[in-house]
Homo-oligomer: A and B are copies of this chain.
């Protein structure tokens, strides 16, 4: 568990065969899963699970985007560098760079909102609990990598 707030995480990953499409490159939908895998690793780095058993709150995505610059191929090793760009009372905004060595493969964004599950299976926006919010901080100097 981190003693200081966590603001970024770099996940090392390898391209799996089932992630590659018939053009021989990673299917664009996979980058959103890579970004989420890095987000959850960042939460673990902060001593948290984003979806522990019996959780009272959840963090659905309200927006996500990627710009694709260079392809990833089967068995490529790459890094998913996620960092916190903003924290508001009810949401967290991330920036994400996917890098193959020093080559930028893709740049993403993702915003998640804290919700509480109410009667009738309705999701209602709520404040991020203090014991979660206190573990995170905005990453310094969050410019895109080059």
Contact = CB atoms under 8 A, between A and B. Distances in A.
Interface of A: 16-18, 20-25, 27-30, 32-33, 36-37, 40, 44, 49-51, 53, 58, 60-68, 71, 73-75, 121, 123
10 contacts: A22-B23, A23-B60, A24-B121, A28-B60, A32-B32, A40-B75, A44-B75, A49-B74, A64-B65, A64-B68
B60 A63 contact: no
Contacts of A73: 53
B25 A17 contact: no
Given A17-B40, A50-B17, A51-B23, A67 B60 contact: no
Contact of A22 (B21, B67, B123): B21
A51 B18 CA distance: 12
Contacts of A22: 17, 20-24, 51, 74
**Nearest 10 CB-CB pairings of A with B:** A65-B65, A29-B32, A28-B61, A20-B22, A63-B67, A18-B33, A22-B24, A29-B33, A29-B29, A18-B27
A68 B75 contact: no
A50 B74 CA distance: 10
Contacts of A24: 22, 121
A68 to B, nearest CB: 5
Contacts of A65: 63-66
